[in-house]
């Protein structure tokens, strides 16, 4: 009997989960996106999105916010991750834990606390809604950037940079030519983990009183108005954008791996 059991069976629960909670919902969304109120097939929802200045504006605004957040996270996280991984700090694990522990606290709680801190600093937080959004999202997503960077950088082979130094490269050159290119996979996965949620996480916007919609809130407003069709179409468009970002960054990761092979 034993030979009938295959490890593949262990994947069954996940397959069931995947089909029930990922594939089927996407199909349902697709159905609503491509039909109108009478249930007839239509592409007007799609054209409606691209001809509306507000929908495109929201998309641009979301991408802008997400880009700024990602950039700020990267600039803050890289040195931190580098020092954690390479610095001669004793108990760097404890330090890493300090960066990660905020993730253990529910994010709405953290943002509520942040709101009080910002109020104490700024007085009236509604004067700086955009700045506050960036601060809030950076605060929330920073650990997601540090973690992959830390993992990648700590796995880097020190002998490579030593070799570069032996061949006469200064420390700046070693960093730019060796360390940075080799940490690209970490940077990419960090960007993925920050950019995509930053585009849709409207709860942080709401909590910090930024009253301009991003993609998530736009979808929500359509569903609140019983318009499932346009709401679904925007979700699908967003899905494609995310897919696109995945493919593009995926090719970068391959590139990084290729370059690493070349270096070796």
Partner 1 sequence: MCRIISFLKIFPVVLLACIFTSCADSDDAVVLRVCNWEEYIDEGGWEDDEAIELSDGRVIKGDDAIYREFERWYYDTYNIKVKVKYSCFGTNEDIYNQLTIGDTFDLICPSDYLIMKLMKEKKLEPYSDDFFDEENENNYYIKGVSPYIKNVFEKNETDGEPWSRYAAGYMWGTSGIVFNTDNVKLEDARHWDILNDRDYYRRVTIKDNVRDSYFAALAMNKSKLLLSPEFRNAGDYEERLAGEMNDTDAQVVDEVCNILKDIKDNSYSFETDSAKADMAAGKVDISYQWSGDAVYTMEVAAENDVELNYIVPDECGNLWFDGWVMLKDGIAGDAAKKHAAQAFVNYLSRPDNAIRNMYYIGYTSAIAGGSDNAIFDYANQCYEAEGDDTIDYDISYFFEDGDTDRKYVITADSGSEYRELGARYPDPDTIRRCAVMTNFDDEAYKRINKMWINVRCFNIKDIF
Residues in contact with partner 1 by CB under 8 A are: 1, 4-5, 9, 53-58, 60-61, 119, 124, 126-127, 206-207, 209, 211-213, 217-218, 221-228
- Rounded Cα distance between 107 and 130, Å, is 19
* Residue 68 · residue 134 · CB < 8 Å: yes
Smaller CB distance to partner 1: residue 227 or 255? 227
The nearest distance, CB 126 to partner 1, in angstroms, is: 4
> Are 256 and 188 in contact, with CB atoms under 8 Å apart?
yes
In the complex, what is the shortest distance from the CB of residue 202 to partner 1, in angstroms, rounded to a whole number? 11
Could you give the angle at the alpha carbon of 75 between the alpha carbons of 71 and 76, nearest 5°?
115
Closer to partner 1 by CB, 57 or 258: give it. 57
- Specify the residue, 40 or 159, whose C-beta has the smaller distance to partner 1: 40
- Determine contact, residues 158/179, Cβ cutoff 8 Å: no
CA distance 123 to 193: 32
Using the minimum distance from each CB to partner 1, give the nearer residue, 221 or 253.
Answer: 221
> Which lies closer to partner 1 via its Cβ, residue 128 or residue 175?
128
Give the residues across from 210 on adjacent strands.
none
Exposed/middle/buried for 99, CB within 10 Å: 0-12, 13-18, 19+? middle
Q: How many helices (H) and strands (E) does the chain have?
A: 14, 0
- Give least dist CB 171 to partner 1, A: 43
Q: Residue 224 or 247: which CB sits closer to partner 1?
A: 224
- Residue 193 CB neighbour total at 10 angstroms: 18
- In the bound complex, what is the minimum distance in angstroms from residue 4's beta carbon to partner 1? 4
Residue 210: CB minimum distance to partner 1, A: 9
Minimum distance between the CB of residue 246 and partner 1, rounded to whole angstroms?
25
3-state SS record for 3-55: HHCCHHHHHHHHHHHHHHHHHHHHHHHHHHHCECCCCCECCHHHHHHHHCHHH
Tell me whether residue 142 or residue 205 sits nearer to partner 1 (CB atom): 205
Least separation in angstroms between residue 256's CB and partner 1 is 34
Backbone angles phi, psi at 86, to 5 degrees: -110, -25
CA distances from 71 to 22, 64, 78, 109, 134 (A): 30, 11, 11, 24, 10
């Amino acid at each position: 009997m034993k030979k009938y059991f295959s490890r593949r069976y262990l994947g069954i629960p996940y397959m069931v989960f995947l089909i029930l909670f990922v594939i089927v919902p996407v199909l349902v969304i697709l159905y609503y996106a491509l039909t109108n109120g009478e249930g007839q097939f239509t592409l007007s929802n799609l054209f409606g999105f691209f001809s509306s200045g507000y929908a495109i504006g929201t998309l641009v605004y979301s991408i802008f916010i997400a880009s700024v957040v990602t950039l700020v996270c990267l600039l803050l996280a890289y040195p931190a991750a580098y020092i954690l991984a390479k610095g001669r700090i004793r108990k760097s694990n404890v330090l890493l834990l300090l960066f990660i522990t905020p993730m253990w606290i529910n994010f709405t709680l953290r943002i509520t606390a942040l709101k009080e801190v910002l109020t104490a600093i700024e007085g009236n937080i509604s004067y700086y809604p955009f700045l506050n959004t960036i601060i809030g999202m950076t605060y929330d997503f920073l650990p997601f950037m540090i973690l992959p960077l830390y993992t990648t950088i700590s796995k880097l082979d020190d002998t490579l940079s030593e070799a570069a130094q032996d061949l006469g490269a200064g420390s700046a050159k070693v960093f730019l030519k060796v360390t940075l290119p080799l940490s690209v996979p970490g940077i990419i996965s960090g960007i993925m983990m920050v950019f995509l949620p930053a585009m849709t996480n409207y709860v942080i916007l709401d909590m910090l009183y930024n009253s301009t919609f991003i993609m998530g809130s736009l979808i929500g407003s359509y569903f609140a108005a019983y318009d499932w069709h346009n709401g679904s179409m925007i979700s699908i468009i967003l899905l494609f954008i995310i897919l696109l970002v995945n493919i593009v960054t995926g090719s970068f990761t391959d590139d990084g791996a290729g370059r690493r092979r070349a270096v070796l």
